[in-house]
Structure 1
Amino acid sequence: MTIRTPAVAGTLYEADTQRLLVQMENWLESAPVKTTQSTPKVLIAPHSGFHYSGESAARAYQTLNAVYDRIRRVILLGPAHRTTVDHLVLPEDDVFATPLGQVPLDKTAVNWLRRQPGVITDNTLHAPEHSLEMQLPFLQTALEDFFLVPIIVGQVDPDLVADILDALWLGDDSLIVVSTGLSRKLTQADAEAQDRRTADRILELDPSLSYTEACGYSALNGALTWARRQGLHGQELQLTTSADRGGNQDSVRGFGSFVLG
């Protein structure tokens, strides 16, 4: 058994198990309750350092309260930040670890994915990538036992992603999580305006977002394409920026949390 060890614990989020657990529980318990009209099927959450985006991400995971013991398969989609890739990328590992423990991969799903066109296996991409890892502490705290399908989504056709999601979706015991930030390196005012437009397009399930609007645009467009096929509806939970948490007002990062069901 091979284990992916945490790449950014101690830098982007807390490495101490007890402090991280307390932080997760506090955020999930304090997140304002927003009633969802149907069972959450897709969560969209940011992946910056927890100081800046943790509370925003918690808004998405708080919607799982009613299904915390039902979810068994989590399909986690996110971008590669360090290189350009034009495939869906799986890890070689069997388990993903965080300071909160280990999450086993869904071997049935992963083995099926390895045989699909457009899918590669590359640990050199997965090992340092933070976009997927940043969602794991929330999943470990919000859910009971589950199996993970971690996919780095490169520059691929949204329909390819949607087809994969169609095949992997098992019904109400499945959950799709898209890890993405929104605007980057804009002023606070410009970021708020751009993110408002992006949020409106997400709520319209518009699968034509670009890299300048969301770093995880390819994963997001694929999930939105799938959501359209399923007839889902979107709900905005929070829009915020790094400046709202004390960051530079002249160069901010935008964060958004959404649920589709």
Structure 2
Amino acid sequence: MSQREMSVAGTFYPDSKSEIERYITHFNKSFSVKDENRNKIKPRAIICPHAGYIYSGFTSNLAFNLSSNKDIKRVIVFGPSHRVYIKGASIALFDTYKTPLGDLKIDLEYSKKLKEKYGFLDFNESLHKEHSTETQAPFIKNYFKEAKIIEIVYGELDFNELSKLTDELLLDKENFIVISTDLSHFYPLNEAKKLDNICLNAIASKNLELFDKGCEACGKIGVKAIIKSAIKYNFDTELLYYCTSYDKTKDDSSVVGYASALIGEKI
């Protein structure tokens, strides 16, 4: 049986079950949701960051917590490749996906069908040591305990092509999509906030053109793809939380931005 092994456990996130559970418990005690201030969305997808949990774990966890759904059969996580160049995207064709909370089953049959249908999908094993997708796996295991996972790592790719895939995935209400992205990288705090606000406003207003006026999200291709699908299906977006690495390091000279959002049907 082939397995997608952990590559960044012990660095980006804890490599022990008890420590991850401690993180999640702490995150969940750190916020309360006031429904009267929310847009009341039934989530079909989320956008969330992929830095180390000490920096962005709270932000990601919030999106997963508000999306937990026992009826979800399949979680499809999209993330940009940071270390290996690829034209197109790679879909994981392993049997299982290892996490410190226990293995996730990969929906191999479904993944193979997607690979056959979409010409930009291939399987390149070297792509599946990617932290942008792997950092989501413990949250998926915690909040979607019975669901299977599909991992897609993309590189140089037209967001319009990727959006055709997210369109199809959203037709099945047992599917849930995770779009992994951080925002601007290594700008002074004030400059980072200006750039990140472009991304946040583009998500909130579902304005595809605005993304290209200064948004520097590393996963912008994935974000634009899901926003295009949201426009097609008349889904709403709800920004949940924004922060930067400054909140942890107190160094405002060079920061990374993080945000989470829900995408789905208005209740």
> TM class, shorter-chain normalised?
over 0.9
CA distance, structure 1, for counterparts of residue 101 and residue 31 of structure 2 = 20
Report if aligned partners of 2:78, 2:178 keep a CA contact under 8 Å in 1. Answer: yes
* Letter paired with 2:195: Q
CA distance, structure 1, for counterparts of residue 64 and residue 34 of structure 2 = 11
Residue aligning to 1:124: 126
* Letter paired with 1:83: V
Deviations 1:45-99 (A, max 9, x none): 000011111111112112124xx21111111111000133221211232211111
RMSD over aligned CA atoms reads: 1.7
Report if aligned partners of 1:103, 1:148 keep a CA contact under 8 Å in 2. Answer: yes
TM-score norm. by structure 2 comes to: 0.91
- Deviation for aligned residue 1:29: 4.6
Q: Structure 1 stretch 174-183 or stretch 139-148: which is displaced more?
A: 139-148
Alignment of 1:138-217 (within 5 A): 138-208=139-209, 209=211, 213-217=216-220
Percent identity over the alignment?
28
CA distance, structure 2, for counterparts of residue 135 and residue 31 of structure 1 = 20
- Deviation for aligned residue 1:244: 0.7
Report if aligned partners of 2:104, 2:148 keep a CA contact under 8 Å in 1. Answer: yes
Partner SS for 1:152: strand
Runs of 5+ consecutive residues of structure 1 not aligned to the other structure: none
Count residues in correspondence: 258
- Deviation for aligned residue 1:195: 1.1
CA distance, structure 1, for counterparts of residue 240 and residue 17 of structure 2 = 28
Q: Structure 1 stretch 187-196 or stretch 169-178: which is displaced more?
A: 169-178
The partner residue of 2:42 within 16, 21, 39 is: 39
- Deviation for aligned residue 1:207: 3.2
The answer on 1:229 being equivalent to 2:232 is: yes
Shift of the 31–108 alpha-carbon distance from structure 1 to 2, 3 Å rule, reads farther
CA distance, structure 1, for counterparts of residue 50 and residue 24 of structure 2 = 14
CA distance, structure 2, for counterparts of residue 18 and residue 257 of structure 1 = 25
Residue aligning to 2:67: 64
Report if aligned partners of 1:29, 1:62 keep a CA contact under 8 Å in 2. Answer: no
TM-score norm. by structure 1 comes to: 0.93
Runs of 5+ consecutive residues of structure 2 not aligned to the other structure: none
Report if aligned partners of 1:88, 1:152 keep a CA contact under 8 Å in 2. Answer: yes
CA distance, structure 1, for counterparts of residue 165 and residue 231 of structure 2 = 14
